[in-house]
Structure 1
Amino acid sequence: MKIEHRHAERHVLNVTVDNEPGILAKITGLFTARGYNIDSLTVADISEDHHISRITVVTNGPPQVIDQIMAQLDRLVPVHKVVDLTEEGPHVERELALIKVRGRGDDRVEALRLADVFRARPVDTTTESFIFELTGPPDKIDSFVALMREIGLVEVGRTGIVGMMRGSQPA
């Protein structure tokens, strides 16, 4: 008998919630209590009257675990809607990073050249370092950070992933 192994898959979940104290703790508590990992977490107010927020959670798991996570999220009282962008279809994901790089001489020139290739913008410059701002998909940021490690990476700060469905329909 052949046993099929299901690998953990990366999923981007958009959770629309009431903007009230404690909702983020409820959602992260749900993940923690069940041993699910959160790879990225962002929260933003999305309504004009400040009553609704969108929480974007990036997690990994086999399909049955993702289905269980979504069902449990859907049962939380202040949750309006849970959408798995990964399953829904074409979507856009972006992240913002600030990357501090030390560099003098040739390393400085190389850091600026690579920043130009990746469309990273210097937002702070000293004679010994740069802070670059870079937005894009997570793999683009990962690649830039890996290259900066070879030059003189000092520090990285990342916002976490936000995502939306493509097209005119809301998720």
Structure 2
Amino acid sequence: MKHTLSVLVEDESGALSRIAGLFARRGFNIDSLAVGLAEAPGRSRLTMVVDGDDHTLQQMTKQLDKLVNVLQVLDLSTIPAVERELMLLKVSAPPQKRSAIFDLVQVFRAKVVDVADEALTLEVVGDPGKLVALEKLLAPYGILEIARTGKVALERASGVNTEMLKVSPSLGRLPT
């Protein structure tokens, strides 16, 4: 199972290396990693996506908590969270196909950030599923390059689980 971990650390040289080393020594791959400054000076937040069962992840969380620079570890997979990712995508776009690509861009609320004679560079922000969907729809046009940030996530302050709010066309709200 994929788990999204939010790790708050003291912003010191080597903190990221120690965390990555902890996972590497135990043979775990980090599927996605995003790091940036946090809400308080001198702190950074790492958002990691890792694969493992609940028991293994619990052990890794305990090991992370023992590291000197780690202030908090939160498994966002088990609680309501807001998740976003940024993707830049360069797609082949000869003039005769551009209008179809522009239509897709609008549906996904993506932005065209660069235009060339035979290519468009797009910026799209959203949950990872949205990015994968756009990528699949643009694949027939010819994807030239992709760069993704990795997932960033925060616990929902409202506590509302948006998965429970998705609507089924035939049933109205899905049963809980």
TM-score by length of 2: 0.86
Q: Structure 1: which 5+ runs fail to align?
A: 1-8
Q: What is the match of residue 19 of structure 1?
A: 11
- CA gap 1:73/1:48 in 2 versus in 1, 3 angstroms: closer
- What displacement does 1:103 show? 1.3
Q: Structure 2: which 5+ runs fail to align?
A: 160-176
- What displacement does 1:54 show? 0.6
Q: What is the match of residue 125 of structure 1?
A: 115
Q: What is the match of residue 136 of structure 2?
A: 146
Partner residue of 2:62 out of 66, 71, 80 = 71
Q: Read off the aligned partner of 1:158 and give its amino acid letter.
A: R
- What displacement does 1:151 show? 0.8
Q: What SS is found at the alignment partner of 2:6?
A: strand
Partner residue of 1:37 out of 29, 37, 46 = 29
- What displacement does 1:19 show? 0.2
TM-score by length of 1: 0.89
Q: Read off the aligned partner of 2:22 and give its amino acid letter.
A: L
Q: How far apart in 2 are the matches of 1:23 and 1:102? A: 40
Q: What is the match of residue 47 of structure 2?
A: 56
Q: Read off the aligned partner of 2:111 and give its amino acid letter.
A: R
- What displacement does 1:168 show? 5.8
- What displacement does 1:167 show? 1.4
Q: What SS is found at the alignment partner of 2:86?
A: strand
Q: What SS is found at the alignment partner of 1:144?
A: helix
- What displacement does 1:146 show? 1.4
Q: Which runs of 4+ in 1 moved over 2 A?
A: none
Q: What SS is found at the alignment partner of 1:147?
A: helix
Partner residue of 2:77 out of 71, 86, 104 = 86
CA contact (8 A) 2:95 2:118 kept: no
Partner residue of 1:160 out of 150, 156, 160 = 150
- What displacement does 1:25 show? 0.5
Q: How far apart in 1 are the matches of 2:15 and 2:155? A: 24
Q: What SS is found at the alignment partner of 2:101?
A: helix
Q: How far apart in 2 are the matches of 1:13 and 1:47? A: 17
CA contact (8 A) 2:124 2:131 kept: yes
- CA gap 1:60/1:112 in 2 versus in 1, 3 angstroms: same
- What displacement does 1:127 show? 2.2
Identity %: 41
Q: Read off the aligned partner of 1:12 and give its amino acid letter.
A: T
- What displacement does 1:82 show? 0.4
Q: How far apart in 2 are the matches of 1:44 and 1:22? A: 14
**Paired residues, what number?**
159
